[in-house]
Amino acid sequence: MISLFFIVGCSQSLKDVDVTSLGTIQDLRTGEKFTPNDFIHHIANKSHILLGEQHDNLKHHQAQFWLLQQLQQHRPQGSLLLEMLSVDQQPQIAKVSQNLTSYTDNLPRALNWDKRWRWDFYGETVGYALAHKMALVATNLTQSEVTTLMQGAEPLQGNKSTSPTIQKQIAELILQHHHCDCDVNDPMVQKMVQVQQFRDRRMAEKIQQAKTPTLLIAGNHHINRQIGVVPHLQDLSPQTQVITILMGQAPQHITANEADYFWILN
């Protein structure tokens, strides 16, 4: 994962938000802008929605929670897929899902929630999904899988998804986030590229398998159409149509090649 983890405390509820504070959503193909309420009507019939975030931004998490609620109210939400859950947590998720009331007093512990992901940013969204009988799907690699990849596992096989162009773009992003005296061809950087790509492939596989309609929440780089989950879906299931939404302060330098929509949150 390119982005950093954050563990600073925050007490503000994701529910304590007025929809008028949730910015606007811009169609990157047409330039048209939607209010959040109008946007829901625009996307509620889509089978697969991929929603990007900046992990440390409270406003992004408030918007996610609001979006999930609204989608559920317009039609039953089949699945919520999260980058923040690794696949070895799926047994705990299944156990909690079968008897949620027994675990509500300490849901993070019951799920074996990774403390590097701020529970106050994700907990209400997770709880809402479970309370409304959505399938909660873990999509991330396990720590042992990451260790194996960093030790030099066989590279990921693909067509579009593993092209040199995509791998170079991912390497450049990694260099932006990890200050080192190295370049895109450095063996350590290339291993980190493999980890990132295996994560994206895993997310694509989980989308294929999940109950529809699906909503994937992950970091913006994973949702980027050019370098993230979408090229892997194109390799695995070319007929699968997805809607991609990135979040940020302004869609500067972001084009329709990278996402369908940009949610402007200041």
- The string of pLDDT tens digits covering residues 170-228 is 999 999 887 777 889 999 999 999 999 999 999 999 999 999 999 999 999 999 999 99
Domain extent listing, the chain: 22-141+211-264
What does the pLDDT read at residue 4?
35
Q: What distance in Å separates the CA atoms of residue 121 and residue 165, rounded to the nearest whole number?
A: 34
Average pLDDT over residues 93-100: 98
The pTM assigned to this predicted structure is: 0.94
Q: What distance in Å separates the CA atoms of residue 246 and residue 70, rounded to the nearest whole number?
A: 18
Give the burial class of 155: count Cβ atoms within 10 A of its Cβ; 0-12 exposed, 13-18 middle, 19 or more buried.
middle
Q: Residue 24: helix, strand or coil by DSSP? A: strand
Q: How far is CA 86 from CA 15, 29, 99, 112, in A?
A: 26, 34, 21, 10
Task: Give tens-digit pLDDT for 43-71.
Answer: 999 999 999 999 999 999 999 999 999 99
Q: How far is CA 117 from CA 2, 72, 188, 202, in A?
A: 14, 24, 25, 19
- CATH 3.40.50.11550, applies to 22-141+211-264: yes
**Rounded (5°) CA angle 126-132-134:** 70
Q: Kind and range of the H or E element at 110?
A: helix 107-111
